[in-house]
Each structure stands twice: as C-alpha cells, then as structure tokens.
Homo-oligomer: A and B are copies of this chain.
C-alpha cells in the first residue's frame, strides 16, 4: 500500500506503458518487415530511395550533432561561468550547469533518434505497402498505418522515457522533486533545437527536389510526375521521407517533451494542493494516451471498396474516446485534494476541451483544404482567368483561414482557464487557471501517437505510389495506391493542423512556465506589460522574426531548387539517351546535390531563430533601469508571446494556402474547368508550386520555431536577469 501511495507508483506505470509501447513498436516492425517486398524492379527503386534517404539523414545528423555540440558547450559556459548564481537557484552553479547541459544533450539525442526511427521504418514500409497493393487494399492500408505507428509510438514513448527518466534520476540523486522540472528544461530545448534543423533541412530538401523535378520535368521536358526518366525523381521520393517522417517526427517529439516539462513546472506551483501528484499528472495522462493510441492503430481495417479515410477516422475516434476515459481516470487519481475534492471534475473537463480542440482543428483544416468546400472551389474557379487570379484567391483563402482556429484557441484558453480557477477556488486564483490550460494541452496531446501514425502514413503511401508508377505496374494497382495517396495527403494536412493547434494551445502554458521560472530564479513576479516601450519593442521583434524566418525558409527552397534544376538540365543535355529511355539517369548525383543544398540552406534560418531572441534579450539588458531589474526578461517574454501569435497565424496561412492550392489543382485534374492540360490547369499548377514551400517547408518549420522560442527562453531566462 505504501508503494501505491508513493511517487514511485505512477512512475512505474509511466515507464511500464512506455516500455510496452516500445515493445509494440518492435512487434509492429517485425510484422511489417515480414511482408512481401514485391518484384525486383520495385526493390531496385525502393533501394535507391532508401540509400538516398539514409545518406541524407547521415549528413544532416552530422551537421546537427556538430551544431548541438557547440551549443552544449556554450550553454555550459554560460551557466557555469557567465551567469551570476543567486540564492534562488535550484542547485549550485556547477550542478545546474551540468543538469541543463546534460538534459540538453539528452533531448537533442532523443530527438535525433526519434526522427531517425520514423524514417527508418518509413523507407522500409513503402515497398511493402506497394507490394501489398497488388493484392489487397486492406493489407496495404494496414501495413502503411502500422509502419507509421512505429514512428508514432517510438516518438511518444521516447519523450516520456526521457522526461520521466531524467526526473527519476535527479530524484534518486537527492534533489527535491519541486526543483527538478526547472533543472531539466534543457531537455525541451535540445529536442526543439534538433527538431528545428531536422524540419528545416528536411523541408528544404523535399520541396527543392519537388519544385526542381516539376519545373524541369513536367514544365520543360513535358514528362509526367514520378517518370523514371527524370533524374530528380528519386530525390523527390527521398524528400517525402526526410521532410515528412524525420521532420515531423522530431517536431512532435519536441512538442510532447517541451509541453510535458512546462506542465510539470506549473504543477509545482500547485504543490500546496496536490503535492507531487500534480507534478507527475502530465506524465501519467500522456502514458494513458499512448495506450489508447495502440488500441486505435490495431483496430483499423478496411474493405476493398470503402473509403480508407473512414477506417482511419474510426481509429481516431476510438483513440480519442479511450484517451478521454484515461484522462478522467488520471484526473480522479491525481487531481483531488481535501481543499478541492471536485477539482478533478473541472480538470477532466479541461482535458476534454483539449481533445475537442484537436477535433475542431482537424475539421477546420479539412474545410479549408478539401475540394468539397467553398475555399478550394473558389481557387479552382479563379484559375479559369489565369495564374494571377489563382494566386490572389489562394492568398485570400490562406489569410482568411486564420480566423476560426484563433477563435477556437481563444475559447479553449479562456474556458480551460476559467474552469481551472473554479477547480481550486479564488484562493489559488490565477495559478489554478493556468494549470487548467496546461491540462487542456495534455488532453490535446493525448492522441499524439495516433496522429503521428496517420502523418507518417502520408509519405509511406506517397512513396508506394511512386514505386508502383516507376515499376510500371498495371493501371488498377496504380488506382489503388492513388486512393491511398489521396488519403495520405489528407492525413498530412490534418496533422499539420493538429501540430499548429497544439502549439497554439501549449503557447500559453509555456509562457506561464517561463514566468514561473523567472519567479523561481529572481523572486519577482513579473508582468509582460506591452505599455513599456522595451516590452513593446520586444513584441515587435518577435513578430518580425517570424516574417523574416518565413522569408528565409521560402527563399532557401528556391535557392536549393536552382541547383537541382541546373543538374537535371545538364544530365538531359549530356545524356540524350535519357529521354529516349535508352540510358539511365544518374539519380545519385541529384540526391547528393539536394543534400548539399538543403544542408547549406538550413543554417541561416536556423541560426536566426536561435540567436534572435538571445540577441534581443542581451541588448535589452543595456536598457535596464535601476528600478526594474527584470526588464530584459520581460521584453523577451514580449518577444516570445507576440512571436508565438504571429507564428501561429503565419503557419496557418502558409499551411492552408498551400494545401488549398494543391487540392484546387487536383480538383481541376479530375476533369473540372477543362481538366488536365487546360489553361485553368496550368494556372493551378502555378499555385500548387507556390504552395509547396509554404506548406512543407516554411509552415511546419514555424511550428517548431514557436516552440523553440519557448524552450530557448526557458533555458536562457536566468541569463537575462
């Protein structure tokens, strides 16, 4: 009984579920790997994708490891030698420096591994999905989803094991549990830092290859998409893996890690109510969410003539339902106390708000990016008068689509805050309310593993389609993979909606964690008062950073695409046999060139995102007035908050405009407004190409940027004081 009431018990549960999830992931790997790998021709293509993707990731990871190592040293030096230690520190300067640096390295390493595993499975599942499509749609669907689930489970389990493990380790070393969340903030920063470069590099790679392949292949040479004569076609297929799998894997890994630590920091402020239980609640709630996702993944199956999306939706609803049940159980167990016996009911409701918010984002994303609805239809209609009106109308749709999500987030934040205040009554006040928003975020993240499985499903089916196309399979099999690919496009769009929604909801939690940390280190409760000129300037800088970062990310794709265009033109010119089909193009050379280009181009925006907030914070220190020693920290908070708002809006704009252009093109290709090769179609292709770097490079990178801003300020907060 002592054990059951001790802090060890929930940790055993969290670790047990996490290890179980890893075991399931390994079982799924075996299940997928045992499937048939099709014909020799298919294997040849798949091997080319595999070696290209692995070569890229190896080089990308070396670059990231080098950057992270430098940063780890900088963090250590700053914490150990530059920073003035004070009586508020959770530990001595050297111990704190070691913890922060160590957790940074751990977070970075786990984020790298999470991204790598996602891609490892994806590049092995694609061919098995393609092969299965020759016999059964259901088999192909299940292989693709289960391959994706490996990534989902791995990412979520690793994030829990990392945060929980560091917590337990420091607890064993004798640190008081209420100090530990502040000592492991480096974990979130390490994870975001790696995620930013993984998403940027992968995003630039995938779209440079895509845009490059399209512009010389489709437009100049007039050959169809995924045509084996195009030297850039393998690079394009590689791009789907390194961008969508590796990139988004790292993205969601850092989301769950950072938000977990943030929620634990807020749990610390409720120790007078829930003791240690509030601190470990976020871990338990998410562990139960992983369990729910496992069930969700395993039930998915479809019939030959059903819409595969329906099957995926059933899995998602089941996951949401089970996660909600688990959430209620965890709240009942951990969020009750004598002063507030009914608090758990309020907080359970907060969790439900989070789950509903996720659903709302999924619906809004569908509305703005599917051709069943007005926005995409209006773009398709505007394509009739040429590319200019197509672009104007797409941009108008993108700007418009920000409205409902912001209202949804506003309602979610205000209502979970009010419920949190009601849960603990006026005595706890603001603190209880903030915890309410944190609990809502945990609710939203409960289904993360399933969502990530659906996301990785996207590039797997996309690749499967490419392999089927390039290996000249019969028309009916192509139709099958096309159906799966269309579903994959939808799930990719949905996960982007989910990722930005969770970033938005989590934002408030992460700000509050930052303010709590400032209090923890300085003993001052600061405001973030925009009427102070320093804070207002910080806020302007935050919003500007988002615009500049988006510009750099978009430009990077263009620059990298130029190099591949030049290469493809060179090959067409030097090897005239390629177009006749008598000579093989040199796929490897294209893969190499995009690799080098993407890695070169990711550095500048990555450094801007990392260095921007630090520079602003340090310059602000020069403006410190004696009567206000925390003004630099406050200005940085302004940068963080307004940067986050601008980032959410910009990401929504870029993601949804891109998705809408893509589907407007698809709608025309289905035979509307003249179908393929009509003037309307040409106009729609322009929109689609413009949307590519929007939705697959700049937009997703902004998700990570938002959280990087939060984690970098969390780690560096003590320096601004």
Interface residues of A in 526-576 (CB under 8 A from B): 527-531, 533-534, 536-537, 539-541, 543-544, 547-548, 550-552, 554-555, 557-558, 561, 565
- State which of B397, B410, B530, B533 has its C-beta within 8 Å of the C-beta of A537: B410
B399 touches A686 (CB 8 A): no
Considering the complex, give the chain B residue whose CB is closest to the CB of A430.
B532
Which residues 386-400 in A have Cβ within 8 Å of B in the complex? Answer: 386-389, 391-393, 395-400
Q: How far is the CB of A537 from chain B (nearest CB, A)?
A: 4
Partner of A533, one of B211, B437, B685, B693: B437
Q: A382 at the A/B interface (Cβ < 8 Å)?
A: yes
In the complex, what distance in Å separates the CA atom of A565 from the CA atom of B388?
14
Most chain B beta-carbon neighbours within 10 Å: one of A386, A648, A653? A386
Q: How many residues of A contact B (CB 8 A)?
A: 74
Q: Is the CB of A543 within 8 A of B413?
A: no
State in angstroms the CA–CA spacing of A516 and B409 once bound together.
Answer: 31
Verify if A710 is at the interface (C-beta below 8 Å from B): no
Chain B residue with minimal CB distance to A549?
Answer: B399
Q: Which residues from B are CB-within-8-Å of A646?
A: 543, 645-646, 649
Q: How far is the CB of A361 from chain B (nearest CB, A)?
A: 15
Judge whether B512 and A531 touch: CB under 8 Å.
yes
Q: Which residues of the partner chain B approach A537 to less than 8 Å between Cβ atoms?
A: 410, 413-414
Distance in angstroms from A157 CB to nearest chain B CB is 32
| A:362-386 near B, CB below 8 Å | 382, 385-386
In the complex, which of the residues B508, B550, B689 contacts A399, with contact meaning CB atoms closer than 8 Å?
A: B550
A511: Cβ under 8 A from any B Cβ: yes
A544 surroundings in chain B (CB, below 8 A): 402-403, 406-407, 649
Q: Does B645 contact A402, Cβ atoms closer than 8 Å?
A: no
Q: Interface-forming stretch among A226-234, A480-488, A635-643?
A: A635-643
- Interface core residue of A395, A400, A637 (most chain B CB under 10 Å): A395
Say yes or no: B403 contacts A548, CB within 8 Å: yes
A433 within 8 A of B: yes
Q: Does A618 contact B (CB under 8 A)?
A: no
A531 in contact with B511 (CB, 8 Å): yes
Q: Residue of B at shortest CB range from A512?
A: B531
Known: A406-B541, A537-B414, A539-B642. A554 touches B649 (CB 8 A): no
Asked whether A219 is an interface residue with its Cβ less than 8 Å from the other chain, the reply is yes
A-B pairs with beta carbons under 8 Å apart, 13 shown: A215-B388, A388-B685, A391-B686, A392-B554, A399-B547, A400-B551, A400-B555, A402-B548, A410-B537, A433-B533, A530-B638, A539-B645, A544-B649
